[in-house]
Amino acid sequence: LVCCFQHPACPHCFTGGMYVFQLFDYYAASGVCLLWVAFFECIAVAWVYGVDNFYDGVEDMIGYRPNAWMKWSWTIITPVLCMGCFVFSLVKYKPLTYNKVYEYPDWAIGLGWCLALSSMICIPMVMVIKILQSEGPLIERIKAVAAPAKSGVSSRPKEYNLKGSELTQPLDPNGNNGLIKPTHTIVETMM
C-alpha cells in the first residue's frame, strides 16, 4: 500500500481515477498543446535558424536537397495551418464532460487549463526572458536572441565533411576503404 502512494499514477488508481485521467487527457495531452509547440518549432526552424540553413543541414544528412515544396511547407504552410487549427480549437472549445453526463466543476476545468498552459507557456516565456536578459535597444535584443548561435559551422568531425561528392572518411563499419554502396534505391515521396 505504501508503494502505491509513491507511484506518479496513483490518483488514476482510485475510484475517481477515470475522472482525473480524462482531465489530463483532454487538457494536457490535447492537440491544442501540440499545435502550439509545432507552430513555434516551425517558426524557430524556418524563420529564426533560417530555412536555407536547415535545408543545407538536411542535404548534408541525406545527400540530396529535398523538393522545394518542403521549404514552403516549413516556412509558410505548416505555421499557418497550425495556428489556424489552434484558433479554431479555441473557438469551438466546450468544457469537459464525462460520458456526456457529468460536467466537471469550474475548479477542475481551471486545473485542466493550468495543465495545458504548463507546457504551452514555456516557449514564449523563455523567449521573453532571453530578450529581457540581453542588452541594447529592443530591436537589437530580438535580433540577437533570434540569430543562430553558429551559422554554417558543422558540428561533425573534420574528416567527415563533404569533399566534392565523396566523404574523406569511409562510412563502412567493417573498416574497408571506400563507401558502402547502397543495395537499394531510396525514393522520396510526398503525400
Which residues form the domain of 57? 10-142
Q: How confident is the model at residue 185 (pLDDT cuts 50, 70, 90)?
A: low
The pLDDT of 150-179, averaged and rounded, is 50
Distance CA 13, CA 62 (A): 46
Question: Per-residue pLDDT for 115 more than 50?
Answer: yes
User: Dihedral sign, CA of 82, 85, 91, 92?
Assistant: negative
Q: What is the pLDDT of residue 104?
A: 85
* 91 found inside a domain: yes
Q: Work out whether strand 102-103 and strand 97-98 pair parallel, antiparallel, or are unpaired.
A: antiparallel
Question: Per-residue pLDDT for 64 more than 80?
Answer: yes
If we measure between CA atoms, which residue out of 147, 141, 171, 145 comes closest to residue 157? Answer: 171
Cα–Cα distances in Å, from 59 out to 52, 169, 186? 10, 18, 14
* 96 found inside a domain: yes
If we measure between CA atoms, which residue out of 4, 83, 89, 74 comes closest to residue 43? Answer: 74
Question: Per-residue pLDDT for 163 more than 60?
Answer: no
* 46 found inside a domain: yes
Q: What is the pLDDT of residue 100?
A: 79
Distance CA 20, CA 22 (A): 5
Q: How confident is the model at residue 7 (pLDDT cuts 50, 70, 90)?
A: low
Question: Per-residue pLDDT for 191 more than 50?
Answer: no
Q: pLDDT tens digits, residue range 52-61?
A: 888 888 888 8
Q: What is the pLDDT of residue 79?
A: 92
- Cell triple for 70: 518542403
Percent of the chain with pLDDT over 70: 69
Higher pLDDT among residues 187 and 70, named by residue: 70
- Count of domains observed in the chain: 1
| Nearest-10 crossing angle of helices 122-133, 138-146 | 120
* 168 found inside a domain: no
The pLDDT of 144-155, averaged and rounded, is 62
* 152 found inside a domain: no
Higher pLDDT among residues 110 and 2, named by residue: 110
Percent of the chain with pLDDT over 90: 5
* 64 found inside a domain: yes
| Nearest-10 crossing angle of helices 122-133, 106-120 | 50
Q: What is the pLDDT of residue 141?
A: 86
pTM: 0.61
* 188 found inside a domain: no
The pLDDT of 111-120, averaged and rounded, is 86
For residue 98, what is the enclosing H or E element? Answer: strand 97-98
